[in-house]
Amino acid sequence: MKKKFLSVVLALAMVLSLMPAAFAAEGGVSTAEELKTAIENAPKDGSQVTITLDADISDMSTDQIVTIAEGQNILLDMAEHSIKVASAFAGRPIRNEGTLTVTGNGTIDSSNSNTGGYGAIDNYGTLTIENGTFTGSVNASGASIKNRPDGDLTIKDGTFNGAVTAVYNAGIAKIYNGLFDCRSCSACNNSSWGYTIQSHMDEEGKSPQLYFYNGTVIGVQGGFSTSAGYSEIHDGSFKTVSCATHTNGSSAHYALYIAGEDEDVKCVVYGGSFESVSKTAALIGNDNTGGDGGINANATTEIKGGTFKAPAGQKAVTGAENTGNPVITGGKFSSDVSEYLADDCVQNANGEVGKLEQVAVAEVVAADGSTTTKYASLTGAVNAAKDGETVTLLKDVDLGSGYVNIAKKLTLDLNGYTVTGSNTWVIGVYSDVTINDSSNGQGKIINSSTSSGTRIAVLAQENSQDEKTCKLTIEGGIITATGIENSYGVFSNNSTTTYGPTIIVNGGEITGYFAGLTVTHDTDLTISGGEITGNYYAVSGNGSADDTDITINGGKLVSKDGNVIYHPQVGNMTIGGNAELTGPNGVQYCGAGMLTIQDNVVITATGSYTEFPTKPSEQGDGSTDDGAALSIVSRGDGYQDGDQKMAVNITGGTLNSVNNAAISVYRLQNKNGWVTNDQTNLSSYLAALNITGGKLSGGERKGALEIDTAAEKQVAVSGGLFSSDPSAYCVDGKTGVTNSDNATKADYPYAVGEEVADAKPAVVESATVPANTPDNASQDAKDVADQMTGGAGVKQDAALEGAIKDAANGNKIEGNTELATGKTVTATLNEATNGSANDNDVAIVYQPYVDVTVTDAVKSGATVTSFTADLTPMYRVVATTNAVVSGGTEIKVSGEVDADANAVLIESGKELNGLADRQYEVKLALPNDFANAGDKLCIKHDKNGSAEYYTGTVSEDGGKLFVTFISNGFSPFTVYAASETAASIGDNVYPTLQAAVDAVENNGTIKLLKDGETATVSRTVKFTVDPSGKNYTISLGGNCTDKDAGEHIFDVVYTAPSSGGGSSSATYTVNVEKSKHGSVESNRSRASSGTTVTLTVQPDKGYELDELTVTDKDGDELKLTRKSDTKYTFTMPRSAVTVEAVFVEEREDTGYSDVSADAWYADAVQYVTDKGMMQGNNGKFMPADKLNRGQMA
C-alpha cells in the first residue's frame, strides 16, 4: 500500500512540474514576437502544441521569421486571422524544420515585399496545410510553398496565389485539393517567372516525388511542370491563361510540361483536364540544348486518362522528337494523337483513346442482323457499311467542324446518343436513308454552330439528274439547329432543277430557328407523325424553288413567332388526317397550285388581333402576320407568275383563329411601302376557294371569313360550320343557317342549309323595346316598367345572329303582300308614315330584341329595392323603306314614337329558340334612382329550380342607367339595388349572407356589408368572414361539424349519414320523357305541391311542337298555361309528373298567298282547310272578309 501511494505522489509531482511550460505553449498570440516566443518555448519531444492567433499580425520583419525546430510539433490555428510582412521583408514568414500543421482558414501573405516576399512557408520538415490562403510577390521569384529535398508536404485544401509559383517541390508532396493560381509571365518579367506547380531536383540532387489528386491549377507561364523524379496526376483542372499585358495568350505556355532537364523523369496521368490558351496542352520532353532543355534527359509520360484541349491548329499533346516519350492508353484529346498511342489502342472521332471495344462510337449491323462491326468514327462506320445495313451509335459523337455524308441505302440508329457538329450541316443524306432511335427517343442530331451563314442539322440533297435517288425517312430522334437565325432542322436541296429529294417524317422531333423543315425544288414531303417546330416556320418553302408536293396527314407542327406553314412557291399541298398545327399565324398560301384541307386536321392561329390587311404593317419580302388560320395571298410576280393561280378546297378539318379571321384572302404589294387589296395594282390570283365542309371559327372582331372584294366571286361555300354568317359566300340555293347540332353549336353557331323557296329579301337590324308587364302585375311593377324605356340588349352574339338570320331567310313578305287587314304592306306603311312608297321601295326588316317583362317590384317606402323581370330573346317584323335601311337611318315604328315614324309593325314579337345554353352579355335598363354609375349590383337568376348569382356593373348611356352582366341563358332575373347588397366575395356581391355562403369557394373570404345577417353551412368548405365591424350568425347544417380553426374562420366538414332518414319537406319528381325531333326542359327537377313549374320547348330545325302533355301518377292530364311559343307552365300536384312532347315537321306553306306561315292564326286556317270546312278563292283565304249567316250555317 505504501509503495502505491508513493508512486502516485511522484507522478503528480512530475505533472505539476511540467504545467507552467505547457500552459505557456498552449496560449493565444497577437503579435509576431508572441508567436515567435510561443514557438521557441514549445517542446522538442514531438508532442503537438496548438498555438492560436488572437489577432492579425502585420508588418512582420525579417528578424521575426518563425522557425519550427526539429522535434517540435506545432498546430497553428490561424482562427481566420492573417500574417502579413513589412515592405523590407525578405524570405517567408514561417520556416519549418519540424512538424507543422496549419489550419483555421487564415492568410499568410508576403506580397507587401515586392522583391523579398518569396512566399508563405519554407518547409524542410513535415508540413500539412488543411486550409487558408498563402501568398507571395510575383516579382520575388519565389514559391508560396517551397518544399525542400527532405521536406514532406501534404496539402488538403487552400488557396495559393500571388507568387511566381504556388508550390515548388523538391521533396515529397501530396496535393488533395485547392486553388493554385499564379500569373507570372516571362515576357513581362524575365527574372521572375515559373509554372504554378513545379517539381524539380534541387541542388542536393535528390529526385522529387509529387502526387496530385485534385485541385485547380491556373498559370500564364504554365500549369504543372516536373523536370526530375516521379509524378502522378489523378484528377484536377490545369490550364494556362493570357496575362493582363499579352491578352492574345502569346506569352503563355503549357498546361502540362514534363521534361528531363535534371534527370530522367516520369509522370503518370490518370485523369484531369488540361487546357492551353495558345500552345499545345501538354509538352513531353525538351530537345533544346544549351538552354531550358537542361541535360536533355528522357521524359516519359503515361497518359491513362484525362482531357487535353489545345486551340485550333495546335496539338493536344506534343512529344519532343529526341527526349519525349508520351504513351497514351486513355483520355480525350482535341487533336490527333495516333502517333503516341499504345499498340492496342485507337482514337475515336470524339478524340477518345482506348481499346476499340471501349471507345467505338458506332457499329455496323448487317442487314440480317447476323454480324456487328465496331468503328472508332461515325464516318468510318458509314463508309464501311453496305446497302441495307444499319449504323448504330454507341457514344455521343462530336464532329467539331466536320460532317458526315451518307450516299448509300442504310439506317442511322441514334440509339439514344447525340451527334453534334458546327459545319453548314451535320448529316448529309444523298441516298435512301432512314434516321431512327431504337433506344429512348432522345438521340439527337444537333448543329451547334453560332457562326454566321446557313446552319442545318440534316441536309437532304438530290444529286441525280436522271431519277429521284435521295429519300430521307425520319422515324425518331431529335433533330435541332437553333444557334443562329438562319438555321434549319431539316433542309432539302438539289444540285439540278430536274429532281428533288423525297422526305418522309413519321416520328421524332425536328426544330430549327428559321424553320423546322424547309423544302425546295421538286421536293416531295410527307408528314405523318412527329413534332416539327420553328421560331418562324414549322415548314416553309422558297418562292424561287417551285414544284414541291407536300402531304401532311399527322404530327404536330408549331411556329413560335410566325406562320406554321409558309408556302410561297408553286406546288400542291394537302393537309389532313389528325395533324395539329399551332402558331401565331396558321398556313400562309401565297404561291400557286392546289391546296386541300381535309379530315380531322386542326389549325389554330393564336396571334393578337391585327387590323392587317386593312392597315398593312412594315415588313420584309416574306410572310405576313395576319393572325389567320389560313391566309390566301395574291402577291404577283415572284409568287404567281403569268397565269399561275391558287385553288383551295376545304372539305374538313378545324380552322380556328383566336383573334382574327379563320380564313383571310387578300392582295399584297410593295409600292414604295406595303399596300393591300384595292390599293395594289394586282388582280386576285385566287382561282377558287371551295368550302364544302370543316369547322371555321374566327375572333369576334373579324369572324370566320375575311375576303378581298376582288376574290369574292371565287369563293363558294356549300357546307361546313362557322362562327359567323357565311351567307354572302354561299353557292346558289344555299345560305347560312343556325347550327342545330348540340355538340358544336356553341362554337360554331352557323351551318349551311337550303335557301327557303320563294324567299323574299329581308334585312336584320336589332331593336330596343321598352319594358312591359303582365296584365296582373302590381302597380309597383308597372311603375318600374314604365321607367325602363331602354329595355334590354344582348351584346352581338353569333347564336343570336344565327337564330334571327334563320327567320329572315324564310321571309315571304314584300311590298305587295296583302295583310290580314286586306291592305298591302306598302299601303299599310304609307298610311302609318304618311309616305308615298311603291312596292319596290319597301324593305322588310327582322328586328331581334330582348323582351323585358317586369313581374314584380319591391319597395322600401318610395324607393325600389329590387325588381324581377323575365328576359326573353324575340324578334318582330317591320316594314320601312330601302332608303332608311341603306342610309343607316334609325328605324322608328309607328305607335312607338310621337313623330317622324318611318316604319310600321307587320308581325309582332316571336320568341327566338335554341338560345338557352349559352353565355350572354346582357345590358338591362334600370328604373329611376335605382343605382349610380359605377355601382356593383347583384342579379339573381332563377334557373332549372336553383338560383345563380351574377354581379353587374352600372353605367350611363344617353342619360339612362343600365346594368351589364354575364348571364347563363335567359329566364327570370331579380335585380337588387346596391343598398340591398349584404356581402361580397372579391368583386362579386350578394343580397344575403346565405347566398354568399352558398357561393364561396374553398379558402375564400366573405366580406360583410350588412349587419345582422344569418346563414347556414351545409357542405364541406373552409372560408373566412371579414365582419368589417358587423354582427352575423352562421349555423351548421345537419351532419356538419366545424374544426374551430379560429375566429371568423369556418372549416366545415359534412359527413353523409350512414343510413335511414327522410325529407323534412315533400317534393316530387318532374320526369321529362325524351322526345324525337326536339327537346323539353323543366326549370325544376323536383317541386313541392303548389309550385309553378315552367317548361321550355325547343323543336329541332324543320320541326314544330304538335302536342305537349303533363300527367300525374294516376295518368290524369294537368292543365297547361301557354306563356309563349316555347314556354308553358303548370302547377305541381301531390305526386310525380310525367312530361311528354310530340314534334312534327313544319308546314312550309298554308297554301294561301294572304296567310303567312308565321301568322298567329295560320294553324287554324290549315286545320279548317285540311278538314274541308273552309276553302279560299283564287289562292287567297281572305281572312279579313266578313262571314255571313249562310257561311256560318
Instruction: Write out pLDDT tens, residues 846-904.
Output: 998 888 999 999 999 989 999 999 988 889 999 999 999 999 899 999 998 889 999 99
Q: What is the pLDDT of residue 121?
A: 99
Q: Which of 755, 773, 796 is the last residue of a domain?
A: 755
Query: Coil, helix or strand for 799?
Result: helix
313 in the same domain as 234? yes
Split at pLDDT 50, 70, 90, the class of 286 is very high
Q: What is the pLDDT of residue 936?
A: 95
Query: Is residue 731's pLDDT more than 50?
Result: yes
All residues at 6 or more sequence positions from 365 whose CB lies less than 8 Å from its CB, including other chains: 371, 372, 389, 390, 391, 392
489 in the same domain as 418? yes
Split at pLDDT 50, 70, 90, the class of 18 is very low
Q: Pinpoint the alpha helices (H) of 552-622.
A: none
Lowest mean pLDDT among 692-706, 739-753, 1056-1070, 1087-1101: 1056-1070
Instruction: Write out pLDDT tens, residues 77-125.
Output: 999 999 999 999 999 999 999 999 999 999 999 999 999 999 999 999 9
Instruction: Region of 433 please: left (phi>0), alpha (psi -120 to 50) or beta.
Output: beta
Query: Coil, helix or strand for 1192?
Result: helix
On whether residue 524 sits in a domain, the answer given is yes
Strand-strand pairing, 563-567 and 556-559: unpaired
Instruction: Write out pLDDT tens, residues 447-474.
Output: 999 999 999 999 999 988 888 899 999 9
Split at pLDDT 50, 70, 90, the class of 767 is confident
Mean pLDDT value across residues 610-623: 85
Instruction: Write out pLDDT tens, residues 300-349.
Output: 999 999 999 999 999 999 999 999 999 999 999 999 999 999 999 999 98
Identify how many contiguous H helices and E strands the chain contains and give both numbers: 11, 101
Q: What is the pLDDT of residue 241?
A: 96
On whether residue 1152 sits in a domain, the answer given is no
Q: Which of 1006, 1024, 1054 is the last residue of a domain?
A: 1054
352 in the same domain as 365? no
Q: Which of 738, 755, 772 is the last residue of a domain?
A: 755
Query: Coil, helix or strand for 882?
Result: helix
Split at pLDDT 50, 70, 90, the class of 627 is very high
On whether residue 246 sits in a domain, the answer given is yes
Sign of the C-alpha dihedral computed for residues 1113, 1116, 1121 and 1126 taken in this order: positive
Distance CA 1156, CA 825 (A): 13
Mean pLDDT value across residues 916-945: 87
All residues at 6 or more sequence positions from 611 whose CB lies less than 8 Å from its CB, including other chains: none
CB 361 within 8 A of CB 341: no
DSSP string, 446-487: EE---SSS-EEEEEEEE--SSS---EEEE-SSEEEE-SSSSE
Split at pLDDT 50, 70, 90, the class of 1058 is low
Distance CA 964, CA 797 (A): 15
Query: CA dist 74 to 68, 101, 132, 436, Å?
Result: 7, 6, 16, 66
Split at pLDDT 50, 70, 90, the class of 1 is very low
Count Cβ atoms below 10 Å from residue 61 Cβ, excluding itself. 12
Give how far the C-alpha of residue 845 lies from the chain's centroid of Cα atoms, to the nearest Å.
48
Q: What is the pLDDT of residue 146?
A: 98
Q: What is the pLDDT of residue 1184?
A: 55
Mean pLDDT value across residues 167-196: 94
Mean pLDDT value across residues 702-713: 96
Give how far the C-alpha of residue 1013 lies from the chain's centroid of Cα atoms, to the nearest Å.
46
What is the 3-class SS of 269-292, one letter each residue?
A: ECCCEEECCCCCCEEECCCCCCCC
866 in the same domain as 748? no
Query: Is residue 682's pLDDT more than 70?
Result: yes
Query: Is residue 63's pLDDT more than 70?
Result: yes
Q: Hey, which residues does 75 pair with through a beta bridge? A: 50, 101
Give how far the C-alpha of residue 960 lies from the chain's centroid of Cα atoms, to the nearest Å.
45
Query: Is residue 542's pLDDT more than 60?
Result: yes
Query: Is residue 1150's pLDDT more than 60?
Result: no
Write out the H or E segment, with its range, that includes residue 871. Answer: strand 863-881
Q: Hey, which residues does 471 pair with through a beta bridge? A: 432, 502
Q: Hey, which residues does 537 pair with through a beta bridge? A: 515, 563
What are the grid coordinates assigned to 478, written together?
431529335
Query: Is residue 416's pLDDT more than 70?
Result: yes
Lowest mean pLDDT among 388-402, 590-604, 909-923: 909-923
Distance CA 269, CA 212 (A): 10
Q: Report residue 275: phi and psi, to 5°.
A: -140, 130
On whether residue 604 sits in a domain, the answer given is yes
Mean pLDDT value across residues 751-779: 89
Distance CA 901, CA 881 (A): 11
Residue 865 burial (C-beta neighbours within 10 Å; 0-12, 13-18, 19+) = middle
Number of domains in the chain: 8
373 in the same domain as 496? yes
353 in the same domain as 378? no
Query: Is residue 475's pLDDT more than 80?
Result: yes
Which amino acid appears at position 757 of this protein? A
Strand-strand pairing, 863-881 and 972-976: antiparallel
On whether residue 724 sits in a domain, the answer given is yes
Q: What is the pLDDT of residue 1152?
A: 59
Split at pLDDT 50, 70, 90, the class of 615 is confident
Domain encompassing residue 1166:
1162-1192
Q: Report residue 314: phi and psi, to 5°.
A: -110, 150
On whether residue 1061 sits in a domain, the answer given is no
Q: Report residue 732: phi and psi, to 5°.
A: -55, 135
Mean pLDDT value across residues 123-140: 98
Instruction: Write out pLDDT tens, residues 244-284.
Output: 899 998 989 999 999 999 999 999 999 999 999 999 999 99
780 in the same domain as 720? no
Query: Is residue 1171's pLDDT more than 70?
Result: no
Query: Is residue 1161's pLDDT more than 80?
Result: no
365 in the same domain as 355? no
On whether residue 1156 sits in a domain, the answer given is no
Mean pLDDT value across residues 60-77: 98
The DSSP symbol for 370 reads: -
Side by side, which strands form the sheet with 94-96? 66-68, 94-96, 121-123, 143-147, 165-169, 197-199, 222-226, 254-258, 282-284, 317-319
Distance CA 722, CA 732 (A): 18
1037 in the same domain as 1183? no
Distance CA 632, CA 595 (A): 10
Query: Is residue 22's pLDDT more than 70?
Result: no
* Mean pLDDT over each residue of the chain, to the nearest integer: 91
Write out the H or E segment, with its range, that includes residue 19. Answer: helix 2-25
1188 in the same domain as 1123? no
376 in the same domain as 295? no
Query: CA dist 1159 to 669, 828, 904, 1187, Å?
Result: 54, 17, 16, 20
Q: What is the pLDDT of residue 19?
A: 39
Top pLDDT among 616 and 336 is at 336
For the chain, give the percent of residues with pLDDT over 70.
92
CB 49 within 8 A of CB 75: yes
On whether residue 170 sits in a domain, the answer given is no
Query: Is residue 633's pLDDT more than 90?
Result: yes
Q: What is the pLDDT of residue 595?
A: 99
Q: What is the pLDDT of residue 181?
A: 97
**Length of the chain counted residue by residue:** 1193
Query: Is residue 613's pLDDT more than 60?
Result: yes
1028 in the same domain as 929? no
Grid cell 357546307 is found at 719
Distance CA 151, CA 170 (A): 8
Query: Is residue 13's pLDDT more than 70?
Result: no
Q: What is the pLDDT of residue 1061?
A: 42
